[in-house]
Amino acid sequence: MPNAELLTPGGIPELTAALQRATPSSRLLAGGTDLIRSMHQDHWEPDLLIDLSGVRELDYVRLEDGTLHVGALTTFAALQADPLVRRHARCLAEAAAQVGSAQIRNVATVGGNIANASPCADTVTALVALGADVRTIDGGGVIATRPLPQITLGSGRTSLAPDEAITEVSFTALGADHRTTFAKIGSRSTVTVARLSMALVVTYAAAGTVSGVRVALGAVGEAAFRDVRLEELLEGRPADAESARLFAAGCMDAVRRAIPGRYSLPYKQHAVVGLAFDAWNALGLCERCEPACG
C-alpha cells in the first residue's frame, strides 16, 4: 500500500499551495470521522492527504447583512451551541445536535458533511431547506460560490474538483416570522444514522397562515432535495390540522416520486407521514389542531 503524504496547511495561502498538488486520488481531511474510518477499514490510502484542521480561519459563524456565514471547519458541537445558528437557523442547530455522538460532534465539520456526500448527512438536509450556497477555493486561489444541490450530486459524488476545498456555507438568516425544525428517524434514538430526515422552514404570518414553505428530505434517494409540488401544497394555507394532514400526505407523495420501485419505498412512504407530523408539530404553529396532529 502506498504511503500517503499528509500536508498540514496553517492558513489559506498554504492551503491553496497544498491544493495545487492535489490529484484525483488525493483527499481533503477535515474532522476525518468518515474518511479515516474508510481508509482504515477498507485498507486504502490516498496519494495525498490535505488536513484542513489547521486552517483555523475557516472556523466561524458570522451574521452579516442578514446572511449567516458558517465556516467549513465549524464542528457540529459548535453549530449546535452557537447562539446565531440557534436563533437564525434552528433546523441546522437541531440537525447538528443529532449527528453521531459527542465524540463525533466535537470533530466532524459542516464542510466535511457536504464533501462526504452521504445521502443521510443530517446537516445537508437542513442546509438544503435553508437554500444554502457553498463557497469554495481551488489551487489557483479562485473563489467560487454555487448552490448546495449543485455540489452534492449523489451518494459519495460531488461536483468538487480534486483541488477544490469548501470554505463556507451561507444562507439568508431566518427572522422572527420564520419557524423551522429538523427531524429524523434512525434505528435508535441517539448516535444513529438517518433512515429518513426532514428539514422544514416556513414563514408564519400573524393571520395564522404559512407561506414561503421549504421542505428538504434526506436519506430518500442519493442526495437531500426539495420538492416544489410539496411546498406549493401549503402556500398560504392556515396553520391548522387540515394543513398538517395535507403536508403529511404530500410528503408521502414526494417520497413516492423520489424513489419509485426502491426497496425502501414501502417503509419510507409511511414513515415519512409520522416524521411529517413530528416536524409540523415541532414548528409550534397549530395551537388549534393539537388533537389531530400526532
Partner 1 sequence: MRLVLNVNGMDHELDVRPTARLIDVLRLQLGLTGVKEGCSEGECGACTVIVDDKAVNSCLVLAGQVRGKKVLTVEGLADDDGLDLLQRMFIEHGAVQCGYCTPGMLMSAKALLMADPHPTEEAIRLALAGNLCRCTGYTTIVAAVRAASEQPAESSSTPPVPAADRRAV
Tell me how far, at minimum, the Cβ of 123 lies from partner 1, in Å. 17
The C-alpha cell at 68 is: 449567516
Nearer to partner 1, 22 or 29 (CB): 29
Q: How far is CA 38 from CA 41, 116, 228, in A?
A: 5, 11, 35
CA distance 188 to 262: 23
Q: Which position among 12, 87, 106, 282 is part of the footprint of partner 1 (CB under 8 A)? A: 106
Cα–Cα distance, 130 to 12 (Å, whole number) = 27
* In the complex, least distance from residue 168 CB atom to partner 1, rounded to whole angstroms: 21
37 makes contact with partner 1 (CB under 8 A) = yes
Is 58 a residue that touches partner 1 (CB under 8 A)? no
Contact between 45 and partner 1 per CB under 8 A: yes
Is the four-CA dihedral 256, 260, 261, 262 of positive or negative sign?
A: negative
In the chain, how long is the greatest CA-to-CA distance? Answer: 65
β-strand 27-29 against 48-51: which pairing, if any? parallel
**Closer to partner 1 at the Cβ: 3 or 64?**
3
Q: Is 267 helix (H, G, I), strand (E, B) or coil?
A: helix
Contacts with partner 1, 159-198, as mask; x by CB under 8 A: -------------------------------xx-------
The residue among 61 and 201 lying less far from partner 1, judged by its C-beta, is 61
Q: Is the CB of 51 or the CB of 278 nearer to partner 1?
A: 51
57 is a site residue for partner 1 (CB under 8 A): no
**53 in contact with partner 1 (CB under 8 A):** yes
CA distance 170 to 107: 20
- Residue from 8, 159, 172, 203 touching partner 1 (CB under 8 A): that is 8
The radius of gyration of the chain from alpha carbons, rounded to an integer in Å, stands at 19
Under the binding rule (CB under 8 A), the answer on residue 146 touching partner 1 is no
Name the amino acid, one letter, at 119.
P
